[in-house]
Structure 1
């Protein structure tokens, strides 16, 4: 992985943590996720019109990606209803690179060195430690299966999008169509789950959702592009440094409690990032 790709993916991780913080601070997390997704869909459609049409072989991957992204957001919105940003986010994002790396060993042709896998492991251990407060502090455990479901979907779309963008031959085109399809699927799910009333939102809610959508689209556009330039498992793991950014946002901006375990976990994540750059 080049220095440029490395730094750009770190920036994407900051954007990802930021949009999660925007959604978490909103009143209705499900509606916030819906507005984020709809605004992304409009942006994605504009991208799809501007950039070249993806290769026909990429469309099954695009459809699979839209389904996985929708499921991921449904799980994540539900999990945020039961826990803090600094608890839900580490679990949801932390186990995903472990799944991605394990699957990548068997089904992908990417070459990842032993040191890089050690970095992936360090990142994973760090985020697991950061999430241990669910048990140690008696926090709501209903968030666990929801956050883990989100992690499974994250691992799934990381692999699908990495391969699909390569097949599409254009990361921007793939990303635009993926977000448009995701918006279509999520809108149907929202209508079924909450009814038409969930689409009625205040101007402030729409502005918040649009901001989160722009941050999310920028973060994932960068990630999909990076997956065409570097090993998918490595990019997916490096993106999980967003857990550290989320911890800092949670502690210093949202005033969530920070115990020594969180700071130790942050050190492990940084160590993993350094290992991946050796």
Structure 2
């Protein structure tokens, strides 16, 4: 992995863990309302950069490009809804590692089996270390009944992570859709798709209260969600999935610290010890 790609992916990991902290803090709010507010705010805030890109480059989005963005949106929508449900039941430092660990391992496996990527022995060792460390983090203590529900949603979330990771790599490479257009298009389509559910009679009355209580979290996530993934999409344009996806999981370390320090979730020492395995995996992959 090139130094530039490494900087992109590590920066993405920090941004990703940060917006997940915001999402966890808003977990008691209606999930669809919160996700819709974030998507709408993201669409508004990221319109100038997206329009600026189109004007400066003269790029045009084809019907094929629009279609693959819609498919990507469906995968991301499942991911966001399941993740928010997971945070209603489990700790940030429990759900996040399981979701983030399951996804990249499956994504790397698909990339190796079906996309013709062939990481060497060092790269494979790094991938396995990252996966082992993430799974150890998730099992750092005996889970409660609520944790079991969170773990279940975390595993389901991981399947969607694997799906959109592999698909979006093809969108920005094989279909040559610009990363910023994929990121912005995903936010716009997600807001559009959730509008009917968010504006039902039951949820309309929740919009203003959720916005008032979580306004800072909504706006923070609206900036960080597209930014974290845009950095990864840029790395995808010149780096393989089997390398980018596992290195991104350094965000697990950040999430564990945030969960332990800011949310008082406990087991910080044991979870950090397990997370140290991830650092070894990241270094190994970076040197492969």
TM-score between the two structures when normalised by the length of structure 1: 0.91
| Deviates further, 45-54 or 58-67 | 45-54
Q: Which residue of 2 aligns with 1:179?
A: 187
CA distance in 1 between partners of 2:25 and 2:259 (Å): 10
What SS class does the counterpart of residue 206 from structure 1 fall into?
helix
| Deviates further, 237-246 or 12-21 | 237-246
What SS class does the counterpart of residue 168 from structure 1 fall into?
coil
- Deviation of 1:205 after TM superposition, in Å, equals 2.0
| Deviates further, 181-190 or 114-123 | 181-190
CA distance in 2 between partners of 1:50 and 1:268 (Å): 42
- Deviation of 1:113 after TM superposition, in Å, equals 2.2
CA distance in 2 between partners of 1:69 and 1:188 (Å): 18
Matches within 5 A, 1:172-251: 172-191=180-199, 195-200=203-208, 201-251=210-260
- Deviation of 1:215 after TM superposition, in Å, equals 1.1
Checking the alignment, whether the CA contact within 8 Å between 1:86 and 1:246 is kept in structure 2 is yes
- Deviation of 1:12 after TM superposition, in Å, equals 0.7
Q: Which residue of 2 aligns with 1:95?
A: 102
Q: Which residue of 2 aligns with 1:19?
A: 19
Pick closer, same or farther for the CA change 1:82–1:223 going to 2, 3 Å.
same
| Deviates further, 15-24 or 206-215 | 206-215
Q: Which residue of 1 aligns with 2:121?
A: 114
| Deviates further, 207-216 or 30-39 | 30-39
| Deviates further, 229-238 or 44-53 | 44-53
What SS class does the counterpart of residue 252 from structure 2 fall into?
helix
1:39 to 17, 28, 41: 41
Pick closer, same or farther for the CA change 1:127–1:43 going to 2, 3 Å.
same
Q: Which residue of 2 aligns with 1:65?
A: 72
- Deviation of 1:240 after TM superposition, in Å, equals 1.5
- Deviation of 1:277 after TM superposition, in Å, equals 1.6
What per-residue deviation string (whole Å, max 9, x for no partner) do you get for residues 70-129 of structure 1?
110100111100011101111111110111011112221334222112111111111111
What per-residue deviation string (whole Å, max 9, x for no partner) do you get for residues 109-168 of structure 1?
33422211211111111111101146x143521122211111111111111111101223
What SS class does the counterpart of residue 28 from structure 1 fall into?
coil
CA distance in 1 between partners of 2:158 and 2:144 (Å): 22
RMSD: 2.1
- Deviation of 1:255 after TM superposition, in Å, equals 2.3
Checking the alignment, whether the CA contact within 8 Å between 1:9 and 1:235 is kept in structure 2 is yes
Checking the alignment, whether the CA contact within 8 Å between 1:41 and 1:181 is kept in structure 2 is no
1:275 aligns with 2:284: yes
CA distance in 2 between partners of 1:168 and 1:228 (Å): 9
Q: Which residue of 2 aligns with 1:49?
A: 51
Q: Which residue of 1 aligns with 2:10?
A: 10
**Gap runs ≥5 in structure 2:** 54-58
1:86 aligns with 2:88: no
Moved over 6 A (4+): none
